[in-house]
Structure 1
């Protein structure tokens, strides 16, 4: 059995579990049997430039990693706040009934992924490479920088590659993040969140085809943040693959944050797509 199929079966086992301790009953036994093989299959992805897709094979490292990210999303789901009152139920919620997903502790979550070679993201000032905005408290000064006020779930790295961003609450001036947009607009290239709509390549596909979705790879090197390294830029289109309508700053924010952060200058510009462009930003 391929590693990708093993991870896919783990996701369904977590999805269907109705007991009191999913970690001990489902996750831990699975790790005993499969952790070594999955970690070995993922190992080429740990270093920037260490793996590229020469020819397509079903269940290759990008699809394996996507399946594993779904397991992660299921295990951190209950850490998150619910949809705000009056919100439209996201399509993915209707399909998967995630409120049935089990709760695990922070320690159990970190223990599970440490066995797969992941390491926690440490304490750091706000940086969209590392941090996903769950809630914005608007600072009275528009120019006030983004300040982390709390952690909702832990983030993980796999070597130089980002696996899952840390969920955070923040306080920020409206020049940087606008409450109701930065924490409520659709989140791109993420399978599911409890508190907002998400958009990824699996939505709308069938039972098997949805698992052909690639994991988005972001890397941290000594010199730069590398976002979405598998997406090739098109000089005739914007970073979303659409005719150029977003400003350069809006495109950059969308790639880095995976969502809108402020009102668009052109309210008719399209941003709803499951593929966002490639971007490299030097570290300073």
Structure 2
């Protein structure tokens, strides 16, 4: 679907350019001219985002190109996250919004907390231990390209301790994620060499046909799992991408599992 060389165009033209940039308008200086030269890349991302694509296979090379784009997104999100003391700003907070706009990104602003839509950055304990999660702060909005979830929104939630353990939900390893400032990320590219790491597939999640489709390229179901977790625990690890009450560490394997839920937005 993507033009030949799309992966390398994103890797060298956007990811490396984010590392090398020392100006104050990355969106104008780097992103805008890159997009002007590659309108077919934007058009292809939008085609992959079509609702019916949740049931269609994607060639490995196309998934790698989307993964490269997700690396750009992760870099641009760093300016929106709680920073460690030794981390400086990256390319400025406006760059992420410019990227989302360039792909026709949309977001259900004000939607109630849901693991499909929201990544937990922080948990405020509620007095009622059974209180369900509710959004109390947005660190960054997520965005969908048509029906394809490109990235979730980062939020602080309030919840009871029987629903979310504050330390676990906000601090356990975050799967399907290349980089975060505030917590450990676990990604299939980690540990590979400078070239091999880019042959990593993008996790595709869709809001389509009245359902949340998580990790549609996974071949397994939660009850296929065999490493000591229950099917419900496996499904939650795919939904939340992290532990909620129990820290599963960084050695669980949710990468091959798909989940489908009825949509609630």
Same fold (TM over 0.5): yes
Q: How many residues align?
A: 258
Alignment of 1:202-241 (within 5 A): 202-233=189-220, 237-238=224-225
Aligned-residue Cα RMSD (Å) equals: 2.4
Shift in alpha-carbon separation, 1:234–1:143, aligned structure 2, 3 A: closer
After TM superposition, which residue ranges in structure 1, 4 or more long, deviate above 6 angstroms?
none
| Structure 1 residue 270, shift from structure 2 partner | 7.7
> TM (normalized to structure 1)?
0.83
1:102 pairs with 2:90 = yes
> TM (normalized to structure 2)?
0.88
Match of 1:278 in 2: 258
SS of aligned partner of 2:47: helix
C-alpha distance in structure 2 between counterparts of 1:142 and 1:235, whole Å: 27
C-alpha distance in structure 1 between counterparts of 2:47 and 2:24, whole Å: 36
Q: Which ranges in structure 2 are unaligned for 5 or more consecutive residues?
A: none
Match of 1:27 in 2: 31
Match of 1:82 in 2: 83
1:243-264 CA deviation, whole Å, 9 max, x = no partner?
A: 2411233222111100000026
C-alpha distance in structure 2 between counterparts of 1:159 and 1:111, whole Å: 17
C-alpha distance in structure 1 between counterparts of 2:245 and 2:99, whole Å: 36
SS of aligned partner of 2:158: strand
| Structure 1 residue 147, shift from structure 2 partner | 1.0
Q: Which ranges in structure 1 are unaligned for 5 or more consecutive residues?
A: 86-97
Shift in alpha-carbon separation, 1:105–1:201, aligned structure 2, 3 A: same
1:138-196 CA deviation, whole Å, 9 max, x = no partner?
A: 11211011110000011000111111000000110112211010000000001111100
Is the 8 Å Cα contact of residues 22 and 102 (structure 1) preserved in structure 2?
no
1:232-277 CA deviation, whole Å, 9 max, x = no partner?
A: 0168741xxxx2411233222111100000026xx8x985347251
Is the 8 Å Cα contact of residues 39 and 117 (structure 1) preserved in structure 2?
no
